A = this chain, B = another copy of it.
Amino acid sequence: MENPPSLDELIRALRCLPGVGPKSAQRMAFHLLQRDHDGARRLADGLNLALGRIRHCGKCNTFTEAEMCVVCASVRRDPTLLCVVETPADLAVMEQTQSYAGHYFVLMGRLSPLDGIGPREIHLDRLLQRASDGVVKEVILATNFTVEGEATAHYVSELLGDKGVKVTRIARGLPVGGELEHVDSGTLAQALLERRPA
């Protein structure tokens, strides 16, 4: 027996979520239709609302509903420090450490030539421009300590090498292969504290 078409379509659509395979997608669809119509409606509305409202901050790239994100718009942040992270999730965990009061640049990815993600895709032209604006004194590289994150950090530090800004890398207090998103704030705070010249 086949599922009704609209149910099959929902199951297929749920598979666009990362980490959701055919079995989970089916379980999710059944759950929503059987027990949580309100949740399903709220999710549909939430998706449409976010799609309509969320855009990238004109200055740092992170998600925002305004022209500029809260951090970039703040006058309390130190404009001489620029921290480079891969994703908004990484920016969020950096903020959770409460150990950093500078600005951010969110790459929205990492260098990954095999996936067709080169310097242009992670907006390095804009990063270069930002770092050379005369205000920024130090660029802190806080990409992940994965192979691609390290390669990205290396590439960026080469790129900024002769631009007259100090380029540092957060300390390898993180486990090798570890990702910012999954580390505790204390370790991350320490890594930030022990940043070293790149």
Contact = CB atoms under 8 A, between A and B. Distances in A.
Interface in A1-59: 1-7, 9-10, 12-14, 16-19, 23-24, 26-34, 36-37, 39-54
Contacts of A18: 27-28, 31
Interface string A63-75: 1111001110000
Copies of this chain, complex-wide, total 2
Contacts of A30: 63, 87-89
B29 A50 contact: yes
A23 B24 CA distance: 17
Interface residues of A, number: 60
Given A27-B89, A37-B51, A41-B48, 13 more contacts: A3-B88, A4-B53, A7-B50, A7-B54, A9-B49, A14-B17, A19-B27, A30-B87, A30-B89, A33-B50, A41-B47, A44-B47, A44-B51
Contacts of A32: 16-17, 47, 50
A108 B35 CA distance: 10
A20 to B, nearest CB: 8
9 contacts: A6-B49, A6-B50, A10-B46, A13-B47, A16-B36, A18-B28, A19-B24, A26-B89, A30-B89
Contacts of A37: 51
